[in-house]
Chains A and B, each alone.
Chain A
Amino acid sequence: MLYRVEVFTRPDLPDARGESLRCQAAGLGIVGLEAIRVSDLYFLEGDLDDATVARLCDALLYDPVVEQAVIQPLSESAMGSSLERPEQTENALPLCGMSTHAVEVALLPGVTDSVAESLLAGAAMIGVSGLARAATGRRYVVNGRVGLPEVRRLAEGLLANDVIQAYAVDRPIAPPIAPPQSGDGEAEIIPIRNADDDRLIAISEERRLALDLAEMQAIRAFYRREQREPTDLELEMLAQTWSEHCVHKTFKALIEYEELTPDGVPIPDSRRTIDSLLKTFIRGATEQVNKPWVRSAFVDNAGIIAFDDRFDLAFKVETHNHPSALEPFGGANTGVGGVIRDVIGVSARPIANTDVLCFGPADLPFDALPAGVLHPQRIADGVIAGIEDYGNKMGIPTVNGAIVYDPGYTANPLVFCGCLGLLPTGAHRNRPRPGDLVVVIGGRTGRDGLRGATFSSMEMDHRTGQVAGAAVQIGHPIHEKQALEAVLQARDRGLYTAITDCGAGGLSSAVGEMAADLGAEIHLERAPLKYAGLRPWEIWLSEAQERMVLAVPPVHWPALQALCAGLDVEAVALGRFTGDRRLTIRYAGRVVGEMDVDFLHHGIPRRRLRAVWQRPARDLAAETQRPSPFVFSAVPASLERSAEAGAAAQQLLALLASPNIRSKEDVVRRYDHEVQAATVVKPFVGRSMAGPSDAAVLDLRFATGRGRAGGAGHQESDVRSQGVALAAGICSARNGVDPYDAAWAAVDEAFRNCVAVGADPDRIALLDNFCWGNPNLPDRLGGLVRCAWGCHDAAVAYAAPFISGKDSLNNEYTGVDGRKHAIPGTLLISALGIVPDVACTVTSDLKAAGDRIYLVDAMMARGGAAHSASSPSPDRGREVGVYRALHAAMRAGLVRACHDLSEGGLAVAAAEMVIGGGLGMVLRLADVLGPFEHDDTRLFGETSGRLLVEVAPHHAAAFEACLAGQPCAAVGEVIAEPCLHVLGGSGEPALTVALAALEDAWRGHIR
């Protein structure tokens, strides 16, 4: 028997979800809606009767205080087909022009439905055994001056995403319960030995293998040597293992690099062969810097550094760009889940998340949207909701991030997800032994996320959503949370010899990597499935989420099974590690795939690529009138120079209100940044708890067990506690900017943000994440080379090692009109800094009237030496000396507030300090260091390396002694009057804006 239950908010109460949707719809340009009311739909199938369903409904499905429910039995014929009965418009209002429509939405069959899973679990709890299957949906009753076309736009633009959902307008949606399928468990043979080159390319394209001709030829040669044909599973495994996503073939390629003059003339002495970007620039920097506290760089799933004598920190940042473009919620959700698993995969407990997001403009006109692309506002809403859902449910604080809006990200949004973990030193084991069992724990395997690794290694076009629907994964954070608890207990009891996560490429990638030196024998029919009917290669390649793979000595297997059972975590031994250096994959006894691990991991032909960099025509350094290589832009491009009175104030207010600068509090407060009780420098700071923070600081006294020794009444604040700072710097290589400089600016910003809150400049580690276009295009690759080069030189200069990194390439989208939309090459630098004493951390909000304001300018320390990649400046690295001096002042308790200068320069930084502190400030531009010629470049210039520092008058002498010889100038005072006053170069009033006006511009959009 099949039942439908509809649960809705009592009609006499407001519907908060509906109202929120109505506002979002207005944001998408769908106006005329009076109200939306939302119902939850439940479809229950099994050996059920009316009384049982009523009992299920009462106990599980609705809240009797604020909701009502309607139960409706459905005939069996309703399954799998829509009821044609027209919607009853019982809610129609007799108002002129008003109409009522209903939109019903349900997941497509096969898409993970965690609510339905919980419903089944709940039924078992209350002793109802007849419920066999369940599914869920939503019903939206829309009221207003809207016709069917608007309702359809609403459904497609906001309520449903056809990649994972179906919708119906004004009729009941078909119950999304999939009929059971059966599979034969057979592998298909793909003839390849006698295929010619055209056929090889055709095979690669038909199966979306994303392999080029040289790679397909290598595979053909392998099978000729093996004297057999590949199975579908083997080909899919090779494609996954050799994908850009998994093997980073561009970063390991041999690159012929050359520079051109601005007029396009080759510069002969610029030619250089780069033997792997990764080895030359990224690892190269780490090796050169050679910090003893780096425990693991570029080896494990995450980079690891020492925290103290007993604990290490693991940090990883990943991107999930393509999936987030197609299905923003699921894409971002599983992006977060994936990077968390990377950290669990080094045996660490996740303690913080970060996220940096790049979207197209939220107010982009609909007619400017390329066909097949979701509107940036919708992408942003979905991505933010996905991050919120996973991080909050896992109980990991989201403490740092950024949101950048730029038209270049309209078709290719960027979603960077980071995770920091804490582990006891030496607790991570990663050496499986022959005979160890291959154990999978966590979620079940389904058809979700097939070919994600290869999909993310391709460019997208307007059909990608249709053909790659299966590449979208849906997360289940509670499964991951419980798997995490199981892993940590198993770690502490020494139950495994190696661990990795199932990410891109699924079991194929996880087991393939763990067995790289051993080989393994796998029995795929043992894998727990979400539903029957998967082919062997689908089980092997599925990117179903929330699974970890462990190597478990047989003697520990019973203990691990009991541990997992106690936590309701599924655990299955799929096979064992062998030592014969072959992967043998069986299904019900039959071999469905066999692979030599050496060919799998080392058989890929190395790519040879050409890179060309055309030097930009504009001389940015000259434009800013300062000889610094760290010029990002002189004045924000949106501003015109103006001599009008009051123009500076208008410019400042316009900047504060611009999407890239204004407060992101409306987003950030949706992320739990307090869970785990360690966040001592929070995303928002100050008297108003609304001022911006440069970086997050976590106090790890409890997590490391040092804060718990005291009993009741013990004054914990007396104990010195070590912490960790997390910060980010992002840059995009826009027109006319040398990515080399942009990279340096990003490194400086991330590093400086850490220093600003109290991190030790000698204990900062970096992560790199490159998002770039198609690397086979020499101009794109030329920019990427410049960017990696800049990363190297900056990291070496700052003595900050890279410990982990990732690249996401092919971020290009071809619209229906054939136009290519490439992202601006984008680099995210994430920094992780050790904070020696949490009591000496500093926030950006002004603290007390009468305090002095200093401007510290690290770039001035370089004496303006011209830079060139081929002739390094002898002053390089001097800026770190400035940061060291500032840190010493912080450790001595001399600094009351500190804030970095970034977008909008000095004026915006000062305004933000005023907003956070609820006090005022006087700034004198005449005292600003540097050869700025105009007041507006002094006020709004965005050069790197600068910080505003607040110092109490009685500490001024000591502070100045700390900074002696460094570029540091007293430029103002804190005043009680809540107002920002700026005096121009000649001492005349240049800008006066009241705190209330600053606040209104910066956070007036937050209700």
Chain B
Amino acid sequence: MSARPPILILHVAGTNRDREAAWACELAGGAPEIVHLNQLLAGERRLADYRMLLLPGGFSYGDDLGAGKLWAVALRYRLGDDLAAFIAAGRPVLGICNGFQALVKAGLLPGVGGREAGAGDWEGGAGGGALSQVFTLTRNDSARFECRWVYLAPQPNSPCIFTRGLAEPIACPVAHGEGKFVARDAGGLAALEAAGLVALRYTGPDAGPAPYPWNPNGSQNDIAGICNPQGNVLGLMPHPEDHIIPAQHPHYHRGERGMTGLALFRNGVKHAAEL
């Protein structure tokens, strides 16, 4: 166990919240390194050498074919087996915003039914792999990109290692246009809930349900973040990496402290260090 576990922060064309993700990991006690996908493909870096993987926010490949879509394709087709092995080994994976979108569209979240996606799943053609996707992140109800602060309630019954033991809500911003979490059908949503895979929910400032704008995008069941059944992969739309010191909070000037997103990173880093 190393004191500061190495964390790979994956950069592709259009990634833009990699640096603050690195600062959060560093403050949480990790040793982050921003690595371009090409460096992994060229063999300059090996995923297996890292204890934690972070897919940061941004507009991968411009989100031109849908948010995170091409990044998902790159993950499955170019990194598929290495990534599947990394997840199977129980190492923590955190996808934030665009990284969350990519994990969902790559079939890596929630991974219901124990399906571990590898490139093989994608070769089904029409009616094959793509159609088996049950959840997605689609356009906000407002049809607009929105940047605003929200509150997230960690769900105590989730197996997620990142939210383990967290009771206090997290305050942090969202900044996205396609963050509405939806299931293909009611059954899928019920199964997700029953399995406890909802790790974070939008909540109002005084806890409880979250009408717009507290649920900023119209996500079903106020879902802000989900994990895989093993709990080592978490994806969320909001940006905990943008609230790691008190001065970043909009109520800093009103004397409010606490509720930073650093707790998520500390849990991830702790888990990575203990592997």
Contacts and interface: CB of A to CB of B under 8 A. Distances in A.
Given A20-B144, A65-B183, A842-B253, A676 B246 contact: no
A707 B23 contact: yes
Contact of A843 (B19, B135, B138, B253): B253
A924 interface: no
Contact of B61 (A20, A478, A707): A478
B75 to A, nearest CB: 10
A845 interface: yes
Contacts of A792: none
A705 B257 CA distance: 23
Interface in A663-693: 669-677, 679-682, 684-687, 689
B133 A125 contact: no
B51 interface: no
A567 B34 CA distance: 13
B39 A393 contact: no
A717 B17 contact: no
Nearest to A839: B247
B34 to A, nearest CB: 10
A680 B27 contact: no
A162 to B, nearest CB: 24
Contacts of B59: 392-393, 477-478
Contacts of A699: 247-248
Interface in A1-50: 16-17, 19-20
A64 B133 contact: yes
A121 interface: yes
Interface in A371-400: 388, 392-395
Contacts of A51: 125
Interface string A95-124: 000000000000000000011011101100
Interface stretch (B84-92, B146-154, B225-233): B146-154
A712 B251 CA distance: 23
Given A126-B77, A677-B248, A16 B62 contact: no
A395 B17 CA distance: 7
Given A118-B70, A566-B36, A682-B250, A673 B135 contact: no
Contact of B14 (A16, A55, A58, A393): A393
Contact of A60 (B70, B129, B136, B143): B70
B221 interface: no
Contacts of A64: 130-131, 133, 136, 184
A708 interface: yes
Interface in B247-275: 247-248, 250-254, 257, 266, 269
B210 to A, nearest CB: 15
Given A65-B134, A680-B252, A395 B145 contact: no
A351 B183 CA distance: 37
Interface of B is mostly: mixed
Contacts of A702: 19-20, 23
A838 B247 contact: yes
A672 B238 CA distance: 12
Contacts of A126: 73, 77, 122
A118 B27 contact: no
A559 interface: no
A481 interface: yes
Given A17-B143, A59-B130, A121 B16 contact: no
A118 B253 contact: no
Contacts of B145: 388, 392, 670, 672
B146 A670 contact: yes
B17 A675 contact: yes
A679 B20 CA distance: 12
A977 interface: no
B112 interface: no
A66 B69 CA distance: 14
A689 B149 contact: yes
B245 A66 contact: no
Interface of B: 13-14, 16-17, 19-20, 23, 26-29, 36, 38-39, 42, 57-59, 61-62, 64-66, 69-70, 73-74, 77-78, 105, 122, 124-126, 128-131, 133-136, 138-149, 173, 175, 182-184, 239, 241-242, 244-248, 250-254, 257, 266, 269
15 contacts: A16-B140, A57-B126, A59-B130, A65-B135, A115-B62, A125-B73, A125-B77, A478-B13, A566-B38, A566-B39, A672-B145, A674-B175, A675-B242, A711-B27, A847-B253
